[in-house]
Amino acid sequence: MNPKRKVLMILTHDRLDCLRLCLDMLERADAFSRFDRVVLLLNGVPARLRRFVEGYMAARPGVGWDTVEGDGTRPGGICAVQNECIRRYPGSVYVKVDEDVFVPRGWAERMLETYEQFSSRNDLALITPLIPNNAFGLHRLLNTFYPEKLGEFGRRFGAPPSDEPKGPTWQSPYIAEWASRQFLDIDAANEEQRRRLAAGGHPRWHEFCRYFSIGCICYDYAHVQRMGGALPPRDEPDWCAWFEANRQACVVDQSLVVLHYAFFVQQEWLDRSSLLEDIRRVNLPGRSPWTAPVLRWVRLAKQIPGIAKRRLGR
């Protein structure tokens, strides 16, 4: 039996700053070499981002690059670009990351190892790592592995961490920043996570079947076929509803922690913080662009017209 082709999808829209960091972290982790194809899902990208992508690919001719164009809509365009990628590369195993997901060393190997562990099952849906800025991930991290952080969380945010997909973790940029900073050095965080996993006698893999945020996932062609041959039109809500209704198994690799920058409801506030620059500074020392000191202020300046409009409209 021939091994399945491995396809990495990187979904991007308009955040060049995030995409640059996402790609740099993937490259540092030697992730590109683990896949037969690396497909940039360009969902309505601006010209500046397109030029960056073209230059980035040209500078790395040894990677099996491809691109898929989308119309920029959400969620329709997000589904369309993934479905086109699946159409081009049928019979594959697919790993998808959003442009604001930042991975540690060993990420690709562990995602694919998890897939191999469960690939023979006919009810396998999605595979995910633990993600701090994610209701499911943060709830599991704090309650199972870092209970000593629950007290600080409760004092800061007035309640225990919620596992509701659209609850406080999804809504609050304050929780998002706090959670990400607990695991900011992503390689060190993964070493500590695996130490605690072994010390507590916890299994590496945990199965579940409930809605979660799908910014970093693995799935295969057989799963897509069970859904009718294509991803559903509303992306995450429809996808999660389908596997819940059909009692399909999702798997979290509890040995793997991955950072996610922001949900759209958190983005404006987080862009006022230095979190994005700090993720790069800690994980890619010496590789910050010369413009790094002003990038935060550029993001702030872009928000001024919207802030002024809202205040004048009161």
**Domain contains 86:** yes
Q: In which domain, by residue range, is 22 found? A: 6-264
**Domain contains 20:** yes
Helices (H), 227-273: 236-245, 264-270
Residue 8, SS3?
A: strand
**Domain contains 203:** yes
**Domain contains 231:** yes
The CA distance from 160 to 153, in Å, is 7
Amino acid at 2: N
C-alpha 192: how far from its chain's center?
Answer: 20
The CA distance from 296 to 275, in Å, is 9
Distances (CA, A) of 56 to 23, 65, 161, 261: 9, 10, 39, 22
The CA distance from 273 to 250, in Å, is 33
The CA distance from 99 to 259, in Å, is 11
> Nearest-CA neighbor of 298 among 266, 262, 274?
274
DSSP letters spanning 126-145:
EEEEE-SSSHHHHHHIIIII
Amino acid at 221: Y
CATH number for the domain spanning 74: value is 3.90.550.10
Count how many domains the chain has: 1
**Domain contains 25:** yes
**Domain contains 300:** no
> Nearest-CA neighbor of 138 among 111, 171, 114?
171
**Domain contains 269:** no
Q: Residue 34 gets which letter from DSSP?
A: G
pLDDT in tens, the chain (314 residues): 457 999 999 999 999 999 999 999 999 999 999 999 999 999 999 999 999 999 999 999 999 999 999 999 999 999 999 999 999 999 999 999 999 999 999 999 999 999 999 999 999 999 999 999 999 999 999 999 999 999 999 999 999 999 999 999 999 999 999 999 999 999 999 999 999 999 999 999 999 999 999 999 999 999 999 999 999 999 999 999 999 999 999 999 999 999 999 999 999 999 999 999 999 999 999 877 666 667 766 777 776 666 555 455 65
**Domain contains 160:** yes
Q: Residue 159 gets which letter from DSSP?
A: S
